[in-house]
Chain A
Amino acid sequence: MTLFLQSTIEGLSLGAVYSLVAIGLVIIYKATDVLSFAHPAIAVVGAGLISYLAVERGVSFWIAFPVALLLIGFLGLILERTFLRPMVGKPVFSVAILTIGIDILLRVPLNNWIGINPKFMGDPFSTYGNFGSFTINEITIKYLELGALVTAVISITFLSIFFKRSRYGLAMLATSFDQEASLAQGINVGRIFGMVWFIGAILGALSGFFFTGGFNTLTQASFVTALRALPAVVIGGLDSFAGAVVGSLIIGLTQGYIAYYQIPLESFLGIEFGSGFSLLAPYLIMFVVLIIRPDGLFGKEEVERV
């Protein structure tokens, strides 16, 4: 039972981390119709910025963290304005390829800066032993995991209220349904695109912090973690806010359970999956879901009068 709860908590917090990237991907996709392959890169660049400010510049972490988030938001704005705005109305395929270009553009300088030594975030949770965590009934919970869960819950609640209640939130929804009709209502669609990238980039950077914080550290391979938000949104359905969260939790929990139960499972089935299977599993799930439901679990349901 302890093992089960332990793996559930770790899976949930992983899912929370993925969901932050995934929600960013979904709102960008919904509003602008672009699946941004650059989004995982934005997440790691965000982590890089925090590390640069907090460790190399020696700024207090509690200042460096919000400043880096804001900076990454503006980076999102700039990327949208320079690269994506001119592509409005162009074929989706070429825009998707363009975002791969942006991904390379962001990651090459970042990787040069990271070099071979892992970078720390300078956050206060990075001590050895029990200092970065607490224990209830033999279940160890890291502060960082708890932070990720709380942040994800707050962000999701805030965003769902924002979309339903606020003027700009409604305008974003409208833009995602019908750009021309939104223009006719006097909504400045260009500004909405910018805002979506701003919010998306900040969510990405938040997630970037949580999977590189503490002793996870930022390395050239950290990017792969953020990339796992892609199967999450594909499982949930690219245009569904709820789908992004559910997909992320599925991926996170799968990874958590497999990390703990792989050996009993292997001896039960008599097959060896080999190391790193927990990283492969998300893609296997995506494969299965796509075969059964090509639009994802929560893919678009057309509202149609019968």
Chain B
Amino acid sequence: MLSVKNLEVVYQDVILVLRGISFELNTGDIVSLLGSNGSGKTTALRAITGLLDVQNGDITKGSIHLDDNDITNAKPSDIVNLGIAQVLEGRRIFSELSVIENLKIGGFTSSSNTNKNTERVFELFPILKERSKKIAGYLSGGEQQMLAIGRALMSNPKYLLLDEPSLGLAPKLVDQIADLILEINSQGVSVLLVEQNANMALKISNHGYIMETGNIVMDNDSNKLLEDQDVKEFYLGINPEGNDRKSFRDVKHYKRKKRWLS
């Protein structure tokens, strides 16, 4: 189980991005983390995988545990070794290298199993096998996303953190990616899914958390979230039938900060 407790993250010593969030990813589950831009979803992932350093961020409070190990502030390479892999937002494949080389780099930490892992990735993404000698930068957006996920799977992770896998993809491809996430999950990989596409994320996940400006404002089972009036209106774009437009005050039952500039 991956559990985050009261996590607080500050960028450049002044910008408070996460204000004490807690969430859990049970083994075998798919958990989605939703929220608008700038709500701190990516920062939460970076905190887990130890990538905050690059962005000049620090964990100031709270802890992250993988089963019984405290992995707060652990080094990225150690975290990958413990079985957590992250697919970065915007794919971030090594565009000048070939597909197979990208996969090999993904398998850096478990190089003895490279062949076995490559076969597994090719089974999941047959298109990558076809393109294995091609330069990764020339793949289409959907193929690049598959490569990014495949690359993360090369370290044979127990926990897969996906940062917006649907970014910039056509609806049909989004469905395909969703199916693949379910397939990966069924092979025993727990998935933490960060998404803007709430519809897709809630449909495939067991549990959902909703973030707003560094706080988790709601969490519930995914099917209950799908039924929730506020989620429907704010994240799924469905208006309650027969009703006229509503005021924000009536629908939001949780605290909402006054924003002066909007």
Report A's interface with B, CB cutoff 8 A. 89, 164, 167, 170-171, 173-174, 177-188, 303-305
Q: Which of B56, B79, B101 contacts A89 (CB 8 A)?
A: B56
* Dominant secondary structure at the A interface: helix
Smallest distance from the beta carbon of A194 to chain B beta carbons, Å?
A: 14
Instruction: Report whether B108 and A180 are in contact in the complex, using a CB–CB cutoff of 8 Å.
Output: no
Residues of B within 8 A of A89 (CB): 54, 56
Report B's interface with A, CB cutoff 8 A. 49-51, 54, 56, 75-77, 79-81, 85-86, 88, 92-97, 101, 104-106, 108-109, 111, 135, 137-140, 151-152, 155
Q: Which of B76, B81, B137, B140 contacts A184 (CB 8 A)?
A: B76
Instruction: Report whether B88 and A186 are in contact in the complex, using a CB–CB cutoff of 8 Å.
Output: no
Instruction: Report whether A167 and B92 are in contact in the complex, using a CB–CB cutoff of 8 Å.
Output: no
Instruction: Report whether B135 and A181 are in contact in the complex, using a CB–CB cutoff of 8 Å.
Output: no
Instruction: Report whether B108 and A186 are in contact in the complex, using a CB–CB cutoff of 8 Å.
Output: yes
Q: Which of A179, A186, A303 contacts B77 (CB 8 A)?
A: A186
Instruction: Report whether B108 and A187 are in contact in the complex, using a CB–CB cutoff of 8 Å.
Output: yes
Instruction: Report whether B54 and A183 are in contact in the complex, using a CB–CB cutoff of 8 Å.
Output: yes
Instruction: Report whether B137 and A171 are in contact in the complex, using a CB–CB cutoff of 8 Å.
Output: no
- Cα distance, A89 to B88, chains bound together (Å): 20
Count chain B CB atoms within 10 A of each CB in A171, A179, A187 and give the residue with the most: A187
Instruction: Report whether A170 and B80 are in contact in the complex, using a CB–CB cutoff of 8 Å.
Output: no
Q: How many A-B residue pairs have CB under 8 A?
A: 83
Residues of B within 8 A of A171 (CB): 105, 108
Q: Which of A164, A184, A303 contacts B135 (CB 8 A)?
A: A303
- Cα distance, A53 to B191, chains bound together (Å): 58
Q: Which of B75, B81, B94, B109 contacts A181 (CB 8 A)?
A: B94
Residue on B nearest A304 in the bound complex, by CB: B137
- Cα distance, A186 to B111, chains bound together (Å): 12
- Cα distance, A44 to B93, chains bound together (Å): 39
With A178-B92, A185-B155: A173-B97 Cβ-Cβ less than 8 Å: yes
Residue on A nearest B54 in the bound complex, by CB: A180
With A89-B54, A177-B96, A185-B80: A170-B88 Cβ-Cβ less than 8 Å: no
Smallest distance from the beta carbon of B7 to chain A beta carbons, Å?
A: 19
Residues of A within 8 A of B51 (CB): 180, 183-184
- Cα distance, A177 to B81, chains bound together (Å): 22
- Cα distance, A181 to B76, chains bound together (Å): 11
Q: Which of A167, A179, A184, A188 contacts B86 (CB 8 A)?
A: A184
With A185-B151, A303-B95: A170-B105 Cβ-Cβ less than 8 Å: yes
With A167-B111, A170-B104, A303-B137: A186-B76 Cβ-Cβ less than 8 Å: yes
Q: Which of A183, A304, A305 contacts B76 (CB 8 A)?
A: A183
Instruction: Report whether B105 and A185 are in contact in the complex, using a CB–CB cutoff of 8 Å.
Output: yes
Residues of A within 8 A of B95 (CB): 177, 303-304
With A180-B88, A304-B137, A305-B138: A185-B106 Cβ-Cβ less than 8 Å: yes
